[in-house]
Amino acid sequence: MGHWTTLDTPCGRIAAWRADPDGPPRGAVVVVQEIFGVNAHIRSVAEGYALEGYAVLAPAYFDVVEPGVELAYDAAGVERGRALRTAVGLERANDITRAAADALATSHHLVGTVGYCWGGTVALLAAMRLGLPSVSYYGARNLPFLDETPRAPVMFHFGEQDASIPPDMVQAHRDALPGMEVFTYPAGHGFNCDLRAGYEPSSARLARERTLDFFTRNLA
């Protein structure tokens, strides 16, 4: 279903994974990667949303630093991914999200985002600064941006056993953004990813159901 394409951004031309539904799309979604690149998992996530009727782009954000990055879920992958995340920076990431949303909006008027890990914070910024309805999965770098005023709805998913996002950080989201939906699950970090040791299928399934409901409500 999906295929590689290119995306022109303010940071230069990058690759992106494109997935489209069989019929007319009900909306469009930008899928924002973890620190491991647009790997098999992120491509699978993109295709999953296409199967639900959405036109999807998953930009290769790291291409602005190093093209073609796909990292393993191990210590070396984490170390390299963190370095690339820092090198890209959130400002450039936001510019890339905007470019992907604009590319989808040429044929689909309503665009949202969903992001995982680092991408969870990129997705939050898309709601705050770009006005895109967004779903943020376990964004550990969200706190500095919670005092901004969202221009679109945001939904948050967190694992209750995530050492990188303790309960007080989750509560900070509820306190700062009382109008937004914040959900927690009996799981750790990365619980949506079936390639990670922390994968928790029941939590992943429920979070996805809630995400799809969010998109139905905000992209319909």
The pLDDT tens digits of the residues spanning 187-202 come to: 999 999 999 999 999 9
Tens-digit pLDDT profile for residues 74-108: 999 999 999 999 999 999 999 999 999 999 997 66
Report pLDDT for 107.
62
* Tokens 């969903």, residue located: 114
117 is catalytic: yes
pLDDT tens digits, 31-62:
999 999 999 999 999 999 999 999 999 999 99
The pLDDT score that the predictor gives to residue 180 is 98
Cβ atoms of residues 138 and 113 within 8 Å: no
Decide if 168 is catalytic. Answer: no
Domains and CATH numbers, the chain: 3-219 (3.40.50.1820)
- Choice among 117, 157, 173, 193 that is catalytic: 117
List the one residue out of 137, 209, 215, 133 whose CA is nearest residue 170: 137
| Active site (annotated) includes residue 189 | yes
Asked if the model's pLDDT at residue 143 lies above 70, the reply is yes
Give the integer Cα–Cα distance in Å for 39 and 81. Answer: 12
